[in-house]
Amino acid sequence: MVHLTPGTVTQPPSTEPRASEGRALMISYLFPPIGGGGVQRALKMARYLPEFGWHPHVLTVQQTASGLTHDPKLLDQIPTEASVHRVEETPLWQSLFARTRRQMKSQGQQRHGAPGGLRARLRPIMARLRDLFLVPDEQVIWHKPAVKAGLRIIEAHGIDVIVSTSGPATNHLVALDLTRATGLPWVADFRDPWVENLHQHDLPSMRRAREQRLEAAVIANADVISSVTRRFCDNFAARYPDAPPIALIYNGFDPADYQDLNLNTKGSSVFTAVYAGILYPKRSPATLLYAVHRLLDCGALDPSEIQLVFAGIFDYPGHSENRELVRSLGLESIVQTPGYLPHEEILSLMAEADALMLVGDDDPRAGDYIPGKVFEYLALGKPVWGTAVPGEASDILEKTGQGFLATPGDVAGAAHQLTSLINDGEPHPSASSDIQQYRRDYQAGQLAWVFNQLLPTDNS
């Protein structure tokens, strides 16, 4: 057996199936029929772990959880070999914060109520209550019920290993209690950083200190830490000198999702570029919109020749900057915002596009991140126009020859890249480009390999 080394970042190999079946408890609040990008990693691990001799028992929230997008078609991807255990949140807390959650998680709709109305006055009070009681996130109201259910599952099914995947970070707190109670080995998987998350800013100092203590407890008690980018893994190793072994398992794409797609473009004279996902305050399409406006203004592009489609949340709840910018630049006929679409429809929309868009975060740390859509873009093999702080995401797209990228704020650069793309939009992949490590089935094998290292040799 190969042993993982404490404090060292390792990219595991994919493994062969086990001779005897192992049983893994996977803790993931986000799981189908909940939709969105956050469910994909847990869903695909559950889908492919059985191929490597592991039976996943998924501990997730009851389907009726409020304020979340739903994509029931994703349920079809859960294999019969996986067991899904659904647990309700604490009813009192759920009732108390249900309205606030619906407002905060609404699909791009603006908050209602006049500035001086009752709702406006209650909003900061509710936000303060969340800061005080809902730590590390709103899903903490699921914590205690999930721990009770987890203990029952462990006893009833002879679980061999625990894996928790965040966000939300509450998943790790559930796993922490379970591993302390049972002594089972535990893999803590971070899809994003916790206290170093660039989207988690302006936290009250007391809350931030509390979350730092919680993160440290997770690192100290987990047997393995895994994360989705090299820089995330290196940052954990640097911040925690006594960290357990750290496994690099990228996010990825599932080849099965693309086998029935028609990857040909529409054959239309209109150049169509598609973005799918959420646009946060720091993830602004302004550079791309100004670039299109510049090309229109100088006559290099005709309005009838281009269409930009932003599927998902175009303006984050409580914001309207993007729509206002579209109006001020006169791009209403060019920009389409169909809203949230099921994953299957998103893939079809992207498959028909001439190009795909990447909107990078305007933050120096953004180069540490690889947006999940990058891997879907790899699977589709289409050119990618957009913005990105230099880092792992831009490196991947450069190696595959798909990237037509500028840095956030570089309007001239984005305009130049768009012109190049329209004139010669064929990707030119590097001979060194290897995308196997980004396949979901391969990554399930990597996780299975980690599981195998945590069990006694005679169980392998």
Higher pLDDT, 400 or 227: 227
Higher pLDDT, 287 or 2: 287
Which residue intervals of the chain bear CATH 3.40.50.2000? 9-252+439-459, 255-433
On the question of pLDDT at 445 being above 60, the answer is yes
Residue 67 has what pLDDT? Answer: 63
Confirm if 67 and 101 have CB atoms less than 8 A apart. Answer: yes
- CA-to-CA distance for 163 and 183, rounded, in angstroms? 13
Q: Encoding tokens for residue 443? A: 């990554």
H or E stretch including 395? Answer: helix 392-399
H or E stretch including 445? Answer: helix 440-454
In the chain, the percentage of residues whose pLDDT exceeds 70 is 85
Torsion of CA 58, 86, 207, 215, to 10 degrees: -20
CATH class, 255-433 region = alpha beta
Q: CB-hemisphere CA count at 13 Å for 98?
A: 11
pLDDT tens per residue, range 302-345: 999 999 999 999 998 888 999 999 999 999 999 999 998 888 89
pLDDT tens per residue, range 45-56: 999 999 999 999
On the question of pLDDT at 107 being above 50, the answer is no
**411 φ, ψ (degrees, to nearest 5):** -65, -45
Superfamily of domain 9-252+439-459: Glycogen Phosphorylase B; (3.40.50.2000)
Residue 285 has what pLDDT? Answer: 96
Q: What is the pTM of this model?
A: 0.87
- CA-to-CA distance for 380 and 383, rounded, in angstroms? 9
Q: Encoding tokens for residue 283? A: 């993830």
Torsion of CA 131, 134, 135, 141, to 10 degrees: 180
Confirm if 360 and 392 have CB atoms less than 8 A apart. Answer: no
Confirm if 111 and 119 have CB atoms less than 8 A apart. Answer: yes
